[in-house]
Amino acid sequence: MQTLIENVNIINPFEEVKTNQNVLIEDNLIKEISSDKIAAKNNVNVLDGNDNYLLSGFIDCHCHIFAKGFHKEENMANPLGIHFYNAVPHSLQTINAGVTSIRDCGSADLSFKLAQQRNLFTAPKIYLSITPLVMTGGHFDLLLPSGFDMEIMYPGFPKGRCDGIEEVLKKTREVKRAGADFIKVMASGGVLTTNTSPEFAQFNKKELKTIVKEASANDMKVSAHCHSLKGMNNCIDAGFSSIEHATFIDKKTACKMVKKNVSLVPTLLVHQFLYKNGFPAWDSYAEEKTQKLKEIVKVHKENISIAYEEGVNILMGTDSGVIPHGHNLEELIHLTDIGMSADEAIASGTIKAAQYLNQDNLGLVKENYIADLILVNSNPLDDVSILSDNDNILNVMQDGRIVK
């Protein structure tokens, strides 16, 4: 199958815009790019680019495609099937926002990956963590004081709770067995779990090192949900590959991340979105969460700016699922607010993200690269905020197929 996109301007981060280009796609790869007319098969599908702008599809490095706010009340009230059906509209919203791949940091399982590969519905490609590892009493230990456990459970989806070297070793193996591509660890308190605070570290160093050692034996990276400064340093020392959120990061820790090649997924959008829009009226923990957010929003942007200035490798992630899906590329605005150029912000969600995922032919509009592409009506290098309006994203291609 061939698709020919005519008359487009190609944007790759840190390169000059290539104007008046034609792009031939064969099966799932970009076969040829030229300013001259391209010879194609008789039955080629021709798409007129209308002098618009062609970019790589984006990779959201932190989202939860099954989730719809992580409200315990809904988990308790809804039949289990709703947990899966939610992924269908969430996926379409994500694709329509220009995101063709996601790194799911908890809640999605192997069924989603198989459904996407089999084209059962329009969905981003997914890199799975299955479920986060969480210590007893830690962030996302959803056993309530009432004694009711709000963690969603079903066959093939292991519980995340574990303590001590033997349990974290076994849990890492269980999560891998369930189909995980990487391991996610809750290494500090969080905002949404009411019995924890973001500034406190969780899991001890021996437990963290055990997780990394077992994951590394299977060539898997380990990612930490972590706001806490001490927790970040524990994870960096243990050999983690990425820190998510990093609210209380300082200059010294940022320098350590650079030295040890640890990436940062700041998810700046999520805290500001929640603080601005609040929680449902029926959320009995809304006031407590909002008070936590007030402090986090205050320091997060300033601290991530420091990390950027020190040269930490920053990747685009949104925590969509905690907030509504489909706002993904608003994160780019927040990344430029901390000092990143438009090129750097776009790279954080394309080529840099692809490199982190060890995808060496993804994230750029180049020959022999995978044809995950978006066509937009304005030049985002002039104003990256245009990508935050889904109406400006005219077409989305995934593996050479038009999905928007």
Contact 47, 23 (CB under 8 A): no
Q: What is the mean pLDDT of residues 301-313?
A: 97
User: 258: exposed, middle or buried (C-beta count within 10 Å: 0-12, 13-18, 19+)?
Assistant: middle
Using alpha carbons, select from 147, 208, 217, 218 the residue that is nearest to residue 179: 218
Residue 272 pLDDT grade (very low, low, confident, very high; cuts 50, 70, 90): confident
* pLDDT of the residue at 251: 98
pLDDT value for 75: 77
The token pair that represents 349 in the structure block: 């969600």
When pLDDT is averaged across residues 372-395 and rounded to a whole number, the result is: 97
202: left (phi over 0), alpha (psi -120 to 50) or beta: beta
Please give the average per-residue pLDDT across 108-135, as a whole number: 97
Q: Report pLDDT for 386.
A: 98
Cα 253-169-80 angle, rounded to 5 deg: 95
Q: Alpha-carbon distance 21 to 39, whole Å?
A: 14
Could you tell me what percent of the chain has a pLDDT over 70?
98
State the Cα–Cα distance between residues 100 and 397, nearest whole angstrom: 8
pTM of the model: 0.95
Choose among 172, 90, 168, 182: nearest CA to 128: 182
The count of other CB atoms within 10 Å of the CB of residue 165 is: 14
Residue 258 per-residue DSSP state: H
What CA–CA distance (Å, rounded) separates 132 from 42? Answer: 50
pLDDT level of residue 281 (50, 70, 90 thresholds): low
Whether pLDDT at 61 is above 80: yes
Token pair of 2, please?
A: 């061939």
- What pLDDT, on the 0 to 100 scale, is given for residue 275? 80
Q: Name the nearest CA neighbour of 22 among 6, 1, 11, 9.
A: 6
CATH number corresponding to 2-57+363-402: 2.30.40.10
Between 328 and 140, name the one with better pLDDT.
328
| Range with lowest mean pLDDT among 11-15, 43-47, 49-53, 168-172 | 43-47
CATH topology of domain 58-356: TIM Barrel (3.20.20)
Average pLDDT over residues 337-341: 97
User: Across-strand partners of 393?
Assistant: 376
pLDDT digits (tens, 9 = 90+) for 201-259: 999 999 999 999 999 999 999 999 999 999 999 999 999 999 999 999 999 999 999 99
pLDDT of residue 39: 87
The amino acid sitting at 140 is: F
CA 147 to mean position of chain CA atoms: 32
Looking at residue 274, what is its pLDDT? Answer: 84
Residue 374 reports pLDDT greater than 80: yes
Sheet containing strand 99-104, strands side by side: 58-63, 99-104, 125-128
Q: Is the dihedral of CA 211, 217, 218, 220 positive or negative?
A: positive
Whether 91 shows a pLDDT value over 80: the answer reads yes
Residue 92 to residues 53, 55, 65, 125, 272: CA-CA distances in angstroms?
A: 22, 19, 10, 12, 24
Q: Give residue limits of the domains in the chain.
A: 2-57+363-402, 58-356
* Structure confidence at residue 22 (pLDDT): 97
Is residue 291 pLDDT above 80, yes or no? no
Number of CB atoms found within 10 A of residue 147's CB:
6
- Please, what is the average pLDDT of the chain? 94
User: What tokens does 16 get?
Assistant: 């000059």
The per-residue pLDDT for 129 is 98
Helix (H, G, I), strand (E, B) or coil at 221: coil
pLDDT band at 186 (very low <50, low <70, confident <90, very high): very high
